[in-house]
Amino acid sequence: MPTVSVENYLKAILHLEEGEEGRVSTTAIAEKVGATPASASAMMSRLGDRGWVEHERYYGVSLTEKGQRIAMEILRRHRLWERFLVDHLGFEWDQVHEIAEELEHVDSRELVNRLDAFLGFPKLDPHGDAIPGPNGRFRSVAARTLLAEAPRNLDLVVVGVVDGGDAFLRHLGVLGIELGSRLTVMERHSFDGSLHVRFADVDELQLLAPSVCARLWVDQSNPAPVIVFPENDPPS
């Protein structure tokens, strides 16, 4: 029965662990939860006592099996609630994070599973992030690339955002980019990595700053497959 604060810390550590190798630093955690390093340090020893993190003094922490299970559960709730807010209450994707940040702490196994069913067992949240299943593992590991690293001349589709703060999401709105937007990389400028892209529904080329390209997940957009009818029936 972790408190709200403990749940926020565990989720922060989970976020910081993915991608980065090894242990997570106290200062990074403090920054993520909006507290001082001193407060985070105190919390780490409490989390260590309860067996939710492994704490090597002066070298950071990593989640234990138990801690990870809890963190994944919070993440699951967060992302399911975000889906609910967008799909059923008509919120925009840049308005739901803060509210989900509170809803995720409502503790009822039954509630979250019924919500999951009500939403149709979604695999992705409104920002394109995978939603953990009731077992605490992700339902699908989608193959995705950062737009910044995508090859040219491919039909791409935006499938997610990296660490999407509300300001960034609103900026995407200004640029006319949303989940599902289709585009092609025409030119990559080696000076700063900015890209000239062409959107499927726009005529002119558009320039995207590297700060944007590094935060967009894209996938190859499956073109409507060309179905070739065989001239003869295949052998059964």
Partner DNA sequence: TTAAATTTTTAGGCAAGACTAAACAATTTT
Partner DNA sequence: AAAATTGTTTAGTCTTGCCTAAAAATTTAA
Q: Given the rule CB under 5 A, which residues bind Mn ion?
A: 8, 82, 101, 125, 127
Residue with tokens 């070739």: 228
Nearest approach, Cβ of residue 122 and Mn ion (Å): 12
Q: Is 155 in the site for a copy of itself (CB under 8 A)?
A: no
For 121-185, the DSSP string reads: --SB-TTSPBPB-TTSSBS-----EEGGGPPSS--EEEEEESS--HHHHHHHHHHT--TT-EEEE
Spatial distance between the Cα atoms of 7 and 173, rounded to a whole number of angstroms: 31
Which residue, 16 or 195, has its beta carbon nearer to DNA?
16
Query: Which of 10, 11, 12, 60 contacts DNA by CB under 7 A?
Result: 60
CB 184 within 8 A of CB 197: yes
Q: How far is CA 86 from each of CA 14, 41, 80, 228, rounded to the nearest angstrom?
A: 24, 36, 10, 39
The two structure tokens encoding residue 108: 């009822």
Q: Is 235 in the site for a copy of itself (CB under 8 A)?
A: no
127 binds, among DNA, Mn ion, a copy of itself, none (CB under 5 to 8 A by kind): Mn ion
Spatial distance between the Cα atoms of 72 and 78, rounded to a whole number of angstroms: 10
CB 150 within 8 A of CB 193: no
Query: Which of 28, 103, 124, 154 contacts a copy of itself by CB under 8 A?
Result: 103
Count of residues of this chain found to bind DNA when the rule CB under 7 A is applied: 27
Q: Is 170 in the site for a copy of itself (CB under 8 A)?
A: no
| Stretch near DNA under the rule CB under 7 A, chosen from 35-43, 77-85, 131-139, 199-207 | 35-43
Spatial distance between the Cα atoms of 8 and 54, rounded to a whole number of angstroms: 17
Q: Is 57 in the site for DNA (CB under 7 A)?
A: yes
Query: Which of 15, 17, 25, 62 contacts DNA by CB under 7 A?
Result: 25
For binding to a copy of itself (CB under 8 A), which residues are involved? 85, 88-91, 95, 98-99, 102-103, 105-108, 110-111, 114-115, 118
Q: Which residues bind DNA (CB under 7 A)?
A: 3-6, 25-28, 33-46, 55, 57-60
